[in-house]
């Protein structure tokens, strides 16, 4: 039978290096990376046991990148969300975000909220895209809200106040060979299985994802036990 995989999270890393290896501008890597987001999302929508797919798209630290690259990423995101609505509807994918959307432009926020509204009844898969996201920021905001609501500070209450609600990650994948978590879903991955691949995100395929899932199924998850 193997391990149950309900929540898959991916740190999509390596777009810039993929482009630079080809002598191209980093933006070309981001454009190719968006195509892979589509392919992987569609693939996950067809795997019945996967209920949630969380993708790390833009961190709270990514604002430190060159202004031109940040501006390009914002435009690319807006264009992707506008163009992909038929894909979300066709494959029954519900679109959600985690992170603090406050710094984004009115136009981008409108596109984000519009897609959330259009896809809210889709049932095959919930896709969370992490935007201006950092796990420490998420946990801090959750605790602040708990205090405001005069709730007791318990593990369950913190979990329920997180951006994803209470949804532990089963498998976390990071592409590009980097061996770090980069402030991503630190609470939700407490007992997740971790998988690091050297493949750069633009080269990541549904076939490799299937191989990683097969590896995950063979692992022994102990959750602190023996």
Looking at residue 156, its pLDDT comes to: 94
Residue ranges for the chain with pLDDT beneath 70:
1, 166, 225-226
DSSP code at position 25 = -
Query: Tens digits of per-residue pLDDT, 168-178?
Result: 999 999 999 99
67-83 and 26-45 are packed helices; what angle lies between their axes, rounded to 10 degrees? Answer: 30
Max alpha carbon distance in the chain (Å)? 55
At the fourth CATH level, the homologous superfamily of domain 7-218 is: Decaprenyl diphosphate synthase-like (3.40.1180.10)
Q: Domain-by-domain residue ranges, the chain?
A: 7-218
Tell me whether strands 93-98 and 171-174 are parallel, antiparallel or unpaired. Answer: unpaired
Of 84, 153, 94, 149, residue with least CA distance to 122: 94
Looking at residue 1, its pLDDT comes to: 52
| Catalytic residue set | 13, 62
Q: Give the integer Cα–Cα distance in Å for 92 and 89.
A: 5
Q: What is the pTM of this model?
A: 0.95
Please count the other Cβ atoms lying within 10 Å of the Cβ belonging to residue 212: 18
Query: Tens digits of per-residue pLDDT, 13-34?
Result: 999 999 999 999 999 999 999 9
Residue 203 corresponds to which tokens in the numbers above?
A: 């080269």
């Amino acid at each position: 039978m193997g391990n149950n995989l309900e929540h898959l999270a991916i740190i999509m890393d390596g777009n810039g290096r993929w482009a630079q290896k080809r002598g191209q501008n980093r933006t070309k890597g981001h454009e190719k990376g968006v195509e892979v987001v589509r392919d992987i999302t569609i693939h996950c929508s067809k795997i019945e046991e996967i209920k949630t797919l969380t993708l790390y798209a833009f961190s709270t630290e990514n604002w430190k990148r060159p202004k031109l690259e940040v501006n390009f990423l914002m435009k690319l995101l807006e264009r992707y969300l506008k163009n992909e609505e038929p894909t979300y509807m066709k494959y029954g994918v519900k679109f959600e975000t985690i992170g603090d959307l406050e710094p984004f432009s009115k136009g981008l926020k409108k596109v984000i909220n519009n897609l959330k509204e259009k896809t809210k009844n889709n049932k095959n898969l919930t896709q969370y895209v992490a935007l201006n996201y950092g796990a420490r920021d998420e946990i801090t905001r959750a605790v602040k809200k708990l205090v405001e609501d005069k709730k007791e500070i318990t593990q369950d209450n913190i979990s329920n106040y997180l951006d994803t609600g209470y949804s532990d990650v089963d498998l976390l994948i990071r592409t590009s060979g980097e061996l770090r978590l980069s402030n991503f879903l630190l609470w939700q991955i407490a007992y997740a299985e971790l998988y690091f691949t050297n493949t750069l995100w633009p080269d990541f395929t549904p076939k490799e994802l299937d191989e990683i899932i097969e590896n995950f199924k063979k692992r022994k998850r102990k959750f602190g036990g023996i």
